[in-house]
Structure 1
Amino acid sequence: MTITIIGILMIGFLITSVVFYSKMTNAEGKVLNLTDTYKEIVKPSEREADNVRIALQAARAEGKSLVDFLMTNNRALMELASGNPDLTIDQLRNRVAELAGVEGESMTQTITRLNTLVSTRESELASMRERFDRLQADVDAEMQRIATIEGGIKKTVDEADSRVKDYGRGVDELRTRVEGFETRIQRQVDSDRARYEQEIRDKENRIAELNQQILVLQDQVRRLRGESVHNRVTPMDEFALVDGEVAAVEPAGDVAVITIGRRDKLVIGMTFSVYGSASEIRPADGSQNYRPGKAVIEVISMDDSSARCRVVRSSRGNPVIAGDVIANPVYDPHKTYNFVVFGDFDVNRDGVATPYERDALVAVIERWGGKVIDDITGDLDFVVLGRRPTNPLQPAPNAPRSVYDEYLRLKRQVDRYHELFEEAQASSIPVLNENRLRTLIGEFPR
């Protein structure tokens, strides 16, 4: 019985021992695990370090674990250093290196260095401010000096302006006096010019009257002396205008032979109007315009008593035939006709009458045996007048002298034109304008 109990107790002890051993083994394993974990957090050798002991005491004082205390302080430090509590130490170190521009320098060193640099810059800034204040003082002094100079200049300019205004008033007064003097002089000149022009007109009128009286007296003298009027050519003297006849016409009809030649003072290039008879050479319908001939011929060759002429123009149905008469008022083999040629002419038929073409007409008349004189005399045969001039406009009183001179020149031309026409009419001298002369001659040579 006892042995059984002892056996049971032994078995129970054995089982208990096995259980406790198993639990102890588990506990030891846990202790080993905790020891390893503890070593990961803090090694036994580090536990006795002063800073660890101080940190542990501070953590206990705050009721925190050492890790929580350290993590909290680390986040606070990162927040203070960079403003980001989650920043790692390497990230903080890199950022400090970027900001400082130097690797391996602590934040305290960087801050100290930057403070030193700031102090230096502040010292330099203070020095620059001092220099600026001195320069500002110099500028203020210079501005004051410039203001003083400007004040002096303004005063000088004002005085000069005052003198200029005085000069201007003097100039205006002088201009007014000069303009008044010019006005008086111009008025006197206008008065003298008007008086002079009136005197010229009176004298020209008187000369015209005297010339008219002379012509009348000369005509009376000729009549008293019994001089025949057949020596004078009038518009009705058609036979006096006949210079020759057409002797023959070549078969082609474009060349005619006339009865005058070299001994009759004929000139190569001279033109004649061709009429059927002498009675056709008279003004048409009682007017002073001569009838045009039925043809115009031009001398192209000649011998002593005849000449060959080219038919320049002819009338359709009225050809040149033998027995026709020819006329050119400029040409006469037995006498020299006297002409007065005045005015502007359009010899080349370009629509513009000019004084130069008057010279060309004079050259034609003289080449064909006529004589051009300036005034109407007792032996004048024809008056040839150009385009009728128009009265010029009276210039303004203050017009330049050149304008007034041109006006007087044109006015004298108008007066001379009418004077010649009236004197010729009074003396029964034929008056030919350019068209009448062209009709009688046939055509002006080009």
Structure 2
Amino acid sequence: MNQRTTGLVVGLVTFVILTVGLLASTIYFYIEAGAAVEKKKAADDAAQASNSKASKIDREYKALVGFMTGEADAVAGEDTLATAKKALGAENVTNLKLELDSIRSNRDQLAQDNANLKQQADAARADAASARAEAGKASQGALAAGQRVEGDIGAYRTKVDEYGKKVESTVQEITRLQDEMDQRRRNEVASLQEKIDSESVSRATLETRVSELQKSVDQYRVKPENAAQLADGRIIDSAGQDGEVFISIGAKQRVQPGMTFDVYDSVQAIQYNPSTGELIPGKARIQVLKVDESTSTARIIPEGRRWGARTRPVVKDDVIANVIFSPEYRYKFLVHGMFDVDADGKATAAEAEYVRGRIKAWGGDVVEGDALRGDLDFVVMGVQPSKPLDLPPDADEGEYTAHFDQKRAYEAYTALFTDAQSARVPVLNWNRMQVLTNEGR
């Protein structure tokens, strides 16, 4: 779309530049044609003046010759020279002769002048003819240039009309696409609103059930004030080698290899940290190595992996505890979202499956689905999705899909967290989950 608009703008600018150049050329040709016409007129005037001058000289020459010829004939008509002298007188005859010689000399000069004037007139006529020819050529050139200009203007006008049609077609196409996108957006918003309304109804129904199920939830929830009840077993012998100990629970109590337990001097030592709500670590930590029917073999985890150095030894009849493990009860966990178990900054669904596997291996039950149930003991939530930003006006279909997926994930995460808090179901992340199962210390 941007490329079409750019091409149209370039075409219009090019047309304007060519039109200005064409106008300048037309003005130049018309000026040259006017100059040629003026030059032709001046040449015609010069030729006419030359013709008038030549005609005047011819008339004067003919009058002079006629006069001289008449005088000569009159003198030649006398019978004799004597008779003429007698009639005119000698002095007058001499004067007439001198005057006749002068007239003849003037006649020759006039004849020469007349010849020169004829040559000048012929040259003027030739110049006038040449000027007329040049004026004709200039006029024809100007006419041809004007015709070319008119032709070019017609071609440019045709191109402008074509560009106008293309622009109109492009505007119509853009309008059509905008209408389609607006309609699709309205449909998606309406669909999402229906889902939101449906979820709101479900949430309202769930909230009405929370109070009814609260007693059922409370009887299975770990309470800090009953921390002494968290003792899961005891040390029955600490005579093993390499830090091995024997505990009083085994396969009958669903103990599995890899489980960890904190070791305390007595049940009264099992306490919660009031500021964090977490179980205070025991004097040592053990990890199950081998499971028998009613007992298990464990090893004391080295001090470097514990919170602080061990100051009291592990002895017989010490109690062991894991805040989540219970020999008689299988805790139910709801796992929601994606997790970043390896702390690489990328939360994935595969790592969420790993968390579910660890819960099952520990001895808990993973509840399927993402809805809060009344018999849940813990909600384990992954990395919180970021709240999506508003879509730009020119967002495409892919951006719409990604936006609404992110929005649904964010709203589902927030709604589940809020519901869990309202129902007072403990919410754990992966780190707290590790602490409670004694895997993260």
Q: Could you tell me the TM-score, scaled by structure 2's length?
A: 0.56
One of 358, 362, 365 as aligned partner of 2:352: 358
Matched, 1:198 2:193: yes
Match of 1:116 in 2: none
Q: Is the CA contact 1:294–1:318 (under 8 Å) kept in the aligned structure 2?
A: yes
Q: Is the CA contact 2:228–2:271 (under 8 Å) kept in the aligned structure 1?
A: no
One of 245, 250, 256 as aligned partner of 2:234: 245
C-alpha distance in 1 between matches for 2:345 and 2:286: 24
Q: Is the CA contact 1:290–1:436 (under 8 Å) kept in the aligned structure 2?
A: no
Matched, 1:270 2:259: yes
Amino acid at match of 1:212: E
One of 301, 313, 316 as aligned partner of 2:309: 316
Matched, 1:438 2:427: no
CA deviation map 1:100-124 (0-9, x unaligned): xxxxxxxxxxxxxxxxxxxxxxxxx
Tell me the C-alpha RMSD between the 2 structures. 3.4
User: What are the equivalent positions in structure 2 for 1:104-253 lying under 5 Å apart?
Assistant: 168-219=163-214, 229-234=218-223, 236-250=225-239
> Are residues 376 and 270 of structure 1, via their aligned partners in 2, closer, same or farther at CA, if it must alter by over 3 Å?
same
Give the drift of 1:443. 1.2
C-alpha distance in 2 between matches for 1:319 and 1:435: 27
CA deviation map 1:382-406 (0-9, x unaligned): 1112233331222213212222222
C-alpha distance in 1 between matches for 2:231 and 2:428: 17
Match of 1:92 in 2: none
C-alpha distance in 2 between matches for 1:349 and 1:249: 37
> Are residues 255 and 236 of structure 1, via their aligned partners in 2, closer, same or farther at CA, if it must alter by over 3 Å?
same
Amino acid at match of 2:259: M
Q: Is the CA contact 1:190–1:397 (under 8 Å) kept in the aligned structure 2?
A: no
Match of 1:418 in 2: 414
Q: Is the CA contact 1:273–1:441 (under 8 Å) kept in the aligned structure 2?
A: no
Amino acid at match of 2:197: D
C-alpha distance in 2 between matches for 1:400 and 1:241: 56
Match of 1:6 in 2: none
C-alpha distance in 2 between matches for 1:215 and 1:182: 48
Secondary structure of 2:219's aligned partner: helix
C-alpha distance in 2 between matches for 1:280 and 1:193: 58
Amino acid at match of 1:398: D
One of 328, 347, 355 as aligned partner of 2:322: 328
Amino acid at match of 2:381: L
Q: Which moved more, 1:300-309 or 1:328-337?
A: 328-337
Matched, 1:372 2:366: yes
C-alpha distance in 2 between matches for 1:166 and 1:439: 77
> Are residues 351 and 259 of structure 1, via their aligned partners in 2, closer, same or farther at CA, if it must alter by over 3 Å?
farther
Matched, 1:343 2:337: yes
> Are residues 219 and 263 of structure 1, via their aligned partners in 2, closer, same or farther at CA, if it must alter by over 3 Å?
closer
Q: Is the CA contact 2:222–2:323 (under 8 Å) kept in the aligned structure 1?
A: no
Give the drift of 1:253. 6.4
Match of 1:143 in 2: none
Give the drift of 1:360. 0.3
Match of 1:58 in 2: none
The sequence identity of aligned pairs, in percent, is 31
Give the drift of 1:302. 2.4
Q: Is the CA contact 1:382–1:431 (under 8 Å) kept in the aligned structure 2?
A: yes
Amino acid at match of 1:425: Q
C-alpha distance in 2 between matches for 1:201 and 1:368: 37
**Unpaired runs of 5+ in structure 1?**
1-156, 223-227
CA deviation map 1:159-201 (0-9, x unaligned): 9998776554433322210101111222233333333333333
> Are residues 208 and 326 of structure 1, via their aligned partners in 2, closer, same or farther at CA, if it must alter by over 3 Å?
farther
C-alpha distance in 2 between matches for 1:285 and 1:293: 16
Q: Is the CA contact 1:258–1:307 (under 8 Å) kept in the aligned structure 2?
A: yes
CA deviation map 1:48-67 (0-9, x unaligned): xxxxxxxxxxxxxxxxxxxx
Match of 2:249 in 1: 260
Secondary structure of 1:341's aligned partner: strand
Count of matched residue positions in the alignment of Structure 1 and Structure 2: 285
> Are residues 327 and 162 of structure 1, via their aligned partners in 2, closer, same or farther at CA, if it must alter by over 3 Å?
farther
C-alpha distance in 2 between matches for 1:197 and 1:438: 37
Give the drift of 1:286. 4.3
Q: Is the CA contact 2:227–2:272 (under 8 Å) kept in the aligned structure 1?
A: no
Amino acid at match of 2:396: P
> Are residues 410 and 289 of structure 1, via their aligned partners in 2, closer, same or farther at CA, if it must alter by over 3 Å?
farther
Amino acid at match of 2:273: A
Q: Is the CA contact 1:233–1:430 (under 8 Å) kept in the aligned structure 2?
A: no
Match of 2:425 in 1: 429
Q: Is the CA contact 2:236–2:248 (under 8 Å) kept in the aligned structure 1?
A: yes
Give the drift of 1:292. 4.2
Give the drift of 1:339. 0.6
Match of 1:392 in 2: 388
CA deviation map 1:3-56 (0-9, x unaligned): xxxxxxxxxxxxxxxxxxxxxxxxxxxxxxxxxxxxxxxxxxxxxxxxxxxxxx
> Are residues 181 and 218 of structure 1, via their aligned partners in 2, closer, same or farther at CA, if it must alter by over 3 Å?
same
Give the drift of 1:321. 1.5
Q: Is the CA contact 2:229–2:267 (under 8 Å) kept in the aligned structure 1?
A: no
Amino acid at match of 2:291: M
